[in-house]
Chain A
């Protein structure tokens, strides 16, 4: 990441004059000597993109559900109703913020903050491109799971601190559900890392583009698609996907806020912007699980060699550090991040599609699916992958 905004102070100093001449060494100092500042910039970009993506996603959800149910959906604010989410945001900001008397105030306030903060932190561990990442951690996937395992506190605390029946029931359901499906989620992802031999997410992405599946003349370019873990580990991918739906409390597993049974579940007592934070957190968690799925099973920022399209350019101009921004590196990073975003967006649309297609599970069915079906299945799949990896090695 550090070289993305690389500059050579000496070169720039020779060419620039006056004000710029004094500014260049300073910029050099800021961006090259403090590589963390580039990371901070990227954190700001990701941290601001995620909420914007959420507003787009809410629009997709509402228009998509309308499409599926043969109605129009919000179409008044802006072109195609695109600005509806921002209008809603304005409403959330100006409506009265009611905090009931009987709640536990500190925890009541803490819960929505956790709901938003945790998914945004997890986004820091995901590689968006060859050189576009915030934290390339050795135990990357473990860090992702560690942070996102704390997301359950938002739901549990929100429900408990509300000090009323439906929220508490919603919170208890949610905690049980999230703990149960976390196991299947972790085990199915483990099978991927068994093959890769590393817990670093960047290694998983590169492994899916290394051309291990050849297919020869029969498959041609399709073999590159088959190199995705989705096709190498179909069972693991499906378990991860199902568990991902349950982890994010999305339909058909949205038991914690089943309207017909629990009013609005754990956030029944929340109003105004605190509710908006829960809303934002739920969609951010969806983005996280989609991004993780793309990274683990759909080749991350690679796309059948398209990610290498700028390689020649990078090789000949990439080291040209006369400006204070390395535009070649920025273009490469942009290409990778775009590929990644398109894939993630496709996954998010899949989430929406499922929500408006499938009916909700019953709670005992949900628990049985988690413990009796998915958990043993993911264990068995792990053994299969382990044996296969051992034989192929």
Chain B
């Protein structure tokens, strides 16, 4: 469990980082290293070059506006949880961050690293999806914005090009009539969820649902986004009720089984978590 030899680079700026990324064959960005380093130790990944962006001041910013929260690529999960502004403007992000692994991992792991890693079991991928957020990238040929729905292509596969670096992620905040909730079940405290759901529900002036979206983690190759608008718009969640919502979600989900979990149980659990997160939005 020791990595293959690699070259380590510590660029002084984003410009330098993307130049290295462009010049070097087989290079990887290193931020918190909480996913990449274990993969390297198992020799499941053996990049020739690591470009460490964790020390770049220009990527360390958290910007909180009334409409959106923008988080730089070297910001750790713990730093997100230390931002009182995020706690008050986008409490969903706090709720989700508390479910990310354990404190020692959150101390090093970065939010943008989670997104770049594109793990469908990750909480951050689900939150970005349900909020329809986006990431900003940089490369020698210029930066671009990638919408959440275009970012995740498969398990551990994103639409980032090899010469491209995420510089920040942007999460829209919720309006005054929107409510959100995150529910997941893990076998052990802090583990990847067996299944989980994050819901965002908007209400009209009569407290009837005018939009309901849920993103599911651990149930497919990418975060699974399900709209419940047809089922819930114009109604109250509690009036539609458990059975109808559970059955609807079950019919929409097609998860896989694994060592611990049958596909059937995971579908059930995801639908239960979907219901639980929606119920918490009432």
The answer to whether A and B come from one shared complex is no
